[in-house]
Amino acid sequence: MVRVARPTPLCRIDAVTKDGELFIKPTQVFDGRRLRSDLVIRRAYDGRCILVSDALSNVDSIVHVDGVVSGGFVDLQVNGGGGALFNEVPTIETLQTIIGAHRRFGTSAILPTLITDAPERLVQAAEAVIAAKDLDGILGLHIEGPHIASDRRGAHSAEFIRPFDDQTLAIVERLRLEDILVMITIAPEAATPDEISTLSDMGVIVSLGHSNASFQETVTAISHGACSFTHLFNAMPPLINRDPGIVTAAINSQCYTGIIGDGYHVDDALLKLAIRARPVNNRVFIVSDSMPTIAGPDQFDLYGQKVVLKNGRLINSEGSLAGAHITMAETVERFITQLGIEPSEVFKMAITTPAELIRRDYLSKIDRRSISDLILLSPKFAYKSRLEDVLT
């Protein structure tokens, strides 16, 4: 059973400062590419952090911190948190609740996700994200559906599924005019190659998913600008020896692929295989696909029906998985400690790779970041706290 861990309280350190600066020496630092033990974080008087060598002979006092420091996690598929579901109430207040819930577990930036719903609900979601464009941690909008395959809808409502249309295009155009980051999950069979090209040319991240597309249909969509896949394996047909399909096209491509790492959505053996099989490195990224149960109650309503947390799984009235109950921090820990994936690679999957996909590289770096953006994990990679909470 996957349990959402509560942040571990830390003893506070009476830090010694000089000229408003503070030098911090963690056991390890993730610099955006690898874990390093030879770095010191210099917190300047304005709260910005600079990475420097640990050979600091002219520094009188260094605060030693037991654990791993990195930038906060970047989650590109977040449906809810703190008891709030974006589909249910798509407002700026809901976004504030959701990002607040996920910050408690080390995630500093999210792409709030609206799954298949009525056209007017998408309009409301777009307006909420525009209103929240200056809200710290809200990156934009992930539109997951309604332009998907009915028989690969998962927990999405069949009532609202439809081919790509001018109505959605107009909403996306409005978001892009406001310089809002947009990711849209589309099934290749629900949109024409030209429509995919139009979205890609607008700077939209076109992610393929919830689809029965053939291998060739998928390759064609990629050639027209699709650059990502939504929760690889889930809501996709199984691998068949003479019918490679969308999963094989995804794994063989140079596209980015999101994956849910709770151990329920994808078997760990398949997950490790997909990571190893990619033709280029740093193309797999972790998503939580999390729901209101993160820092919230163990049930919620979706499409007017109850979704209940049972033995780590979120199950709707049809018996289908309806999102996930796991944080990015828990996924990072289990990938390292249970799946045996090299820690630097896991940190890249949780921070660097999603940041690169959305062209927000600064999210993976520590240099020049505010100390409030940095998090601390234990030496065994369990999430502990924001770094600034240790130093207060």
- For every one of its 392 residues, what pLDDT tens digit does the chain have, with 9 covering 90 and above? 444 544 433 333 333 444 568 899 999 999 999 999 999 999 888 888 888 876 654 566 788 999 999 999 999 999 999 999 999 999 999 999 999 999 999 999 999 999 999 999 999 999 999 999 999 999 999 999 999 999 999 899 999 999 999 999 999 999 999 999 999 999 999 999 999 999 999 999 999 999 999 999 999 999 999 999 999 999 999 988 889 999 999 999 999 999 999 999 999 999 999 999 999 999 999 999 999 999 999 999 999 999 999 999 999 988 889 999 999 999 999 999 999 999 999 999 999 999 999 999 999 998 888 988 999 999 999 999 999 998 87
Catalytic residue IDs: 289
Residue 128 φ/ψ, nearest 5 degrees? -65, -40
Helices and strands, number each (H, E), in the chain? 11, 21
Q: How far apart are CA 365 and CA 70, in angstroms?
A: 8
Q: Are strands 73-78 and 107-115 parallel, antiparallel or unpaired?
A: parallel
pLDDT of residue 59: 61
pLDDT of residue 239: 87
Q: Can you give the pTM of this predicted structure?
A: 0.93
Report residue 41 as tokens: 């974080």
- Using the structure block, give the residue that is written with the tokens 């703190």: 82
pLDDT of residue 10: 33
Q: Which CATH superfamily is domain 22-69+366-391 in?
A: Urease, subunit C, domain 1 (2.30.40.10)
Domain ranges, ordered by start, for the chain: 22-69+366-391, 73-364
pLDDT of residue 368: 86
pLDDT of residue 11: 31
**Which CATH number is associated with domain 73-364?**
3.20.20.140
List the one residue out of 284, 256, 281 whose CA is nearest residue 270. 284
Ranges of H-type helices in 212-284: 215-223, 245-252, 268-277
List the one residue out of 97, 90, 181 whose CA is nearest residue 141. 181
Give me the sign of the Cα torsion angle 127, 132, 137, 140: positive
Q: How far is CA 230 from CA 20, 124, 127, in A?
A: 45, 23, 24
Q: How far apart are CA 175 and CA 180, in angstroms?
A: 5
